[in-house]
């Protein structure tokens, strides 16, 4: 018989912790929450201080039976769910189910699943923190009231299966607002003048800056011609040289949000995938002789704080691996939002000694990629700044000034390990300028004016949307991934070229929400609600008061919507062909995986088929059909023959309409870091990447 019972959420976590605690401890998993609000009703008594009605989650009977049986045999029970609001709520629900005293020292928390951290945490058990529980309850009740009161209205007035939520509605509105910005954007013309200059055997670029000391923007070809007409001969004089040494500090270690953004940019991971893999790394990976080990600290955090122990270990590792000069770290500051919680550390490896390559054989490909990203970001955050030598040179011809900017890395510092990605994936490159002297005359090799037009703001990628939600103070680290999933599953937005595009359905729902529930999709209001949830967690305000203030106004909006919201009929778009079974017109419908064709005679005729999108390329295999764009079960685009199954041609890469000039084989478009490259599938022929 075990003296102590420890309850965690998952079997993987249980296995890792049990190894560290020894024979006196039995560790079991609750498999997440054991109680929740019922699915069949709102489950909140709005007339009785918003009392929640909790029931045992369907299917949890056998788990609870096993936990109760183990609890009867144990001298002491510890609840060791995750160290956040959700984990505290799980512990509270377990305490009620197992008849434990919530004021006793039954709660154990740790930020990393390592032997030292686990043993230390069991020396300091504490009571369940009801402020944390109340904050989670308040969020759950708020979301339930919004979802279960508005959703039935949308079913009745628009379409079955729709939903509304505080965070998801704001996310969809942001996407729609951005689409409107793009549609309403009026491009403005502007021009640049680039020059190539020669100094000895070195050629370097410079850009038109202005006239005299005044910077000048060129708006038209006439203005460009006026500048060009002022140039006298091809000789320019070096007017001024400014040399500087600039320090570049490393990015702070990851928070949940920054991890999701960087994994999207560098690894092409969706937010949900990132969090799923991070959970596996946190709970423990079997490292052979070492056994199961938690590789990273807790992955739901918005703090960039790092423990002194981790900083010391990192400094020793960096000194040994790269040299003392790389370990002279300056304070790394991350942007702090108004609602940042500092309950636990940033996301970091539990030990920098476990380098990605040393444990590569024990990890899946995706686990290794994410661990490597986290390890490199943390190590770099503890390293010395990079030192850049910058040079600014003004070249003059009469009154016309061209400016050349150069830079080179003098000392790599943290850049030896890791450099943060950008949304446009632009790489920093050295631009070297010759050793010029003021007053010297240099020759101009070429002057090239170029016309440009301003571009609209880009559509949101997952990374950009997560960043925007975080900056606006909307949602919490744990909400971003499920929110992005939900708005796609409901058909409010779709992903095109990894960018969010609103659907007609999404626009209709947000228009109704704007008219009848303006506060729900108001960014400032939603951010204010998040701050109030934080105040509940900090014990500054009672959760019932926060819910009551919200619901008083919300109830009025509901009553008005019930009376005034008109039924909206979403008309089907005709597909331009008839059903081959019954002869009625086919229409375009929106499903979970995008648009498809269905018979307008539904439900009498249930014929459906995918929308065929030809790309204008004959099938390279049979030469009879056309290559068409299809989607796999995982919603990934691929290309196949229109005569399938007679012809089984298949390609993940988009075929090109012309043959390879070298071997007459099939050319395809390959996505690479710098854009799209056309390659031959039969030989080594490649073309220059297209941006």
Active site residues: 298
How would you write 552-604 as a 3-class SS string? HHHHHHHHHHHHHCCCCCCCCEEEEEECCCCCCEEEEEEECCEEEEEECCCCC
State how far the Cα of 474 lies from the Cα of 468, in Å rounded to an integer. Answer: 9
User: By 3-state DSSP, what share of the chain in percent is helix, strand and coil, each rounded to 5?
Assistant: 35, 25, 40
Please state, in angstroms and as integers, the Cα–Cα distance from residue 213 to each residue in 226, 239, 241, following that order: 18, 11, 14
State how far the Cα of 11 lies from the Cα of 7, in Å rounded to an integer. Answer: 10
State how far the Cα of 564 lies from the Cα of 685, in Å rounded to an integer. Answer: 64
Q: Which of 135, 455, 120 is nearest to 307 (CA)?
A: 120
**CA R_g for the chain:** 31
On whether the CB atoms of residues 242 and 392 are closer than 8 A, the answer is yes
The residues near 395 (Cβ < 8 Å, ≥ 6 apart) are 195, 197, 206, 236, 237, 238, 239, 401, 402, 403, 404, 442
On whether the CB atoms of residues 256 and 463 are closer than 8 A, the answer is no
State how far the Cα of 55 lies from the Cα of 53, in Å rounded to an integer. Answer: 7
Dihedral of CA atoms 91, 93, 97, 98 in degrees, nearest 10, equals 20
Please state, in angstroms and as integers, the Cα–Cα distance from residue 431 to each residue in 41, 390, 406, 413, 591, following that order: 64, 9, 5, 19, 50
The residues near 498 (Cβ < 8 Å, ≥ 6 apart) are 461, 462
State how far the Cα of 633 lies from the Cα of 390, in Å rounded to an integer. Answer: 51
């Amino acid at each position: 018989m075990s003296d102590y019972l420890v309850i965690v959420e998952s079997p993987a976590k249980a296995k890792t912790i049990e190894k560290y605690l020894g024979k006196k401890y039995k560790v079991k998993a609750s498999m997440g929450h054991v109680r929740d609000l019922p699915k069949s009703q709102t489950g909140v008594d709005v007339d009785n201080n918003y009392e929640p009605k909790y029931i045992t989650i369907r299917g949890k009977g056998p788990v609870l039976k096993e936990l109760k049986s183990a609890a009867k045999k144990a001298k002491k029970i510890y609840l060791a769910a995750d160290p956040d609001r959700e984990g505290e709520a799980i512990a509270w629900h377990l305490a009620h189910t197992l008849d434990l005293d919530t004021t006793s020292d039954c709660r154990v928390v740790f930020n990393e699943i390592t032997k030292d951290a686990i043993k230390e945490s069991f020396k300091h058990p504490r009571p369940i923190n009801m402020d944390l529980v109340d904050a989670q309850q308040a969020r759950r009740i708020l979301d339930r009231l919004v979802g279960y009161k508005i959703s039935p209205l949308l079913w009745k007035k628009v379409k079955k299966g729709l939903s509304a939520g505080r965070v998801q509605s704001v996310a969809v509105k942001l996407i729609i607002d951005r689409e409107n910005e793009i549609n309403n954007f009026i491009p403005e013309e502007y021009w640049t003048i680039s020059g190539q200059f020669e100094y000895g055997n070195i050629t370097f670029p410079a850009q038109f800056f202005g006239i005299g000391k005044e910077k000048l923007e060129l708006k038209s070809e006439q203005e460009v011609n006026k500048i060009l007409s002022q140039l006298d001969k091809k000789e320019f004089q070096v007017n001024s040289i400014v040399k500087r040494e600039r320090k570049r500090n490393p990015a702070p270690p990851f928070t949940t949000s920054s991890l999701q953004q960087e994994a999207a940019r560098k690894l092409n991971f969706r937010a949900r995938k990132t969090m799923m893999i991070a959970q596996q790394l946190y709970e423990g990976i079997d490292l052979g002789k070492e056994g199961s080990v938690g590789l990273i600290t807790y992955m739901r955090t918005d703090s960039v704080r790092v423990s002194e122990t981790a900083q010391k270990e990192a400094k020793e590792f960096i000194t040994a691996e790269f040299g003392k000069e790389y370990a002279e770290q300056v304070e790394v500051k991350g942007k702090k939002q108004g609602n940042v919680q500092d309950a636990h550390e940033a996301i970091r490896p539990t030990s920098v000694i476990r380098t990605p390559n040393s444990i590569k054989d024990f990890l899946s490909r995706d686990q290794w990629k994410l661990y490597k990203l986290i390890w490199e970001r943390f190590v770099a955050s503890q390293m010395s700044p990079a030192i850049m030598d910058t040079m600014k040179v003004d070249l003059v011809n009469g009154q016309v000034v061209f400016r050349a900017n150069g830079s080179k890395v003098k000392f790599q510092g943290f850049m030896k390990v890791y450099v943060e990605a950008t949304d446009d994936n632009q790489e920093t490159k050295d631009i070297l300028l010759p050793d010029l002297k003021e007053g010297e005359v240099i020759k101009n090799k070429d002057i090239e004016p170029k016309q440009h037009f301003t571009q609209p703001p880009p559509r949101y990628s997952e990374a950009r949307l997560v960043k925007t939600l975080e900056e606006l103070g909307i949602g919490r680290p744990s909400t971003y991934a499920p929110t992005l999933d939900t708005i796609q599953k409901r058909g409010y937005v779709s992903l095109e070229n990894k960018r969010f595009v609103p659907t007609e359905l999404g626009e209709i729902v947000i228009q109704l929400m704007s008219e009848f529930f303006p506060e729900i999709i108001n960014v400032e209001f939603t951010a204010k609600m998040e701050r109030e949830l934080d105040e509940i967690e900090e014990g500054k305000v009672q959760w019932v008061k926060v819910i009551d203030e919200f619901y008083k106004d919300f109830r009025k909006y509901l009553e008005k919507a019930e009376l005034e919201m008109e039924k909206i009929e979403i008309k089907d778009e005709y597909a331009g062909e008839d059903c081959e079974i019954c002869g009625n017109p086919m229409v375009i419908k929106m499903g979970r995986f995008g648009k498809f064709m269905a018979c307008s005679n539904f439900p009498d005729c249930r014929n459906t088929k995918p929308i065929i999108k030809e790309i204008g390329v004959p099938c390279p295999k049979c030469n009879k059909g056309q290559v068409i764009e299809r989607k796999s079960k995982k919603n990934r685009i691929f290309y196949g023959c229109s005569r399938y199954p007679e012809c089984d041609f298949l390609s993940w890469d988009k075929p090109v309409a012309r043959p390879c000039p070298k071997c007459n084989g099939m050319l395809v478009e390959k996505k690479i870091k710098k854009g799209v490259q056309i390659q031959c599938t039969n030989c080594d022929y490649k073309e220059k990447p297209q941006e």
